[in-house]
Structure 1
Amino acid sequence: MDVTTARERLEDMLAELDRSIGVLQGDPVAVREHSAADAGSDLTDADRAQAMLTVATAQRQAIMEALKRIDEGVYGRCVDCGSPVPEGRLEARPEAARCVQCQGKQERRR
């Protein structure tokens, strides 16, 4: 994927994530009136919203780092080993920072 296309896709993804994060950071639970029976489901909803916010924030950070790699001229190179990130991987995940092998190693460390 050429860097112009990658930048456009990443910027579109960033805009969508920013909208989603804005919605998740809102407090719709406080706006509604609740009964005592709703308290348990509200906690579950709040937990779910927090988990989604955590994932969206991490995704946003990955996109910002990918845009920085474009600016630095190293987009498409693995941040660990320096080898090219496969084109198909970048098509599927334009924010990918690692080749498949290094990403697998990273995930096994977690």
Structure 2
Amino acid sequence: MDSATAARDRLKTMLAEIDRSIGILAGEPVAVRDRSSADAGSDLTDADRVQAMVTAASAHRRAVVEALGRVDDGTYGECVDCRKPVPEGRLEARPEAARCVQCQSRKERRR
């Protein structure tokens, strides 16, 4: 199995896991019940936490889908900013990584 096939398989597995997680999170409404105002605040916090997890999972999903696109167009493993190779260890740890460590650090500093 070549590296592109292995990357595609790993990314598709990740995508299925993310989709399953989003489905579970999105399907968990906060229970409505008789409650004190303190409980209502807690429910709101729980709903906010679930929404934050869905938002983070959705962003991760986008990164995986974009990585699958790079596999398909032959640019997987190439930094989207500087076009240098993304280190193999980085791709092993984060198969969806689009940038080399230096470019990712620059991007995060700009936020």
Residue by residue over 1:40-64, the C-alpha shift from the partner in whole angstroms, topping out at 9 and shown as x without a partner, is: 1101100100110110000000000
Change (3 A) 1:63 1:34: farther
Q: Which ranges of 4 or more aligned residues in structure 1 deviate by more than 4 Å? A: none
Q: Percent identity?
A: 69
Deviation at 1:2, TM superposition (A): 1.0
Structure 1 residue runs of 5 or longer lacking an equivalent are none
Relative to the length of structure 1, the TM-score reads 0.92
Residues in 2 aligned to 1:3 and 1:103: alpha-carbon distance in whole angstroms: 22
Relative to the length of structure 2, the TM-score reads 0.92
Residues in 2 aligned to 1:80 and 1:34: alpha-carbon distance in whole angstroms: 53
Partner of residue 61, structure 2: 60
Partner of residue 6, structure 1: 7
Structure 2 residue runs of 5 or longer lacking an equivalent are none
Residues in 1 aligned to 2:93 and 2:28: alpha-carbon distance in whole angstroms: 33
Q: How does 1:12-91 map to 2 (within 5 A)?
A: 12-30=13-31, 32-36=32-36, 37-91=38-92
Aligned CA-pair RMSD: 1.4
Counting matched residue pairs gives 109
Partner of residue 96, structure 1: 97
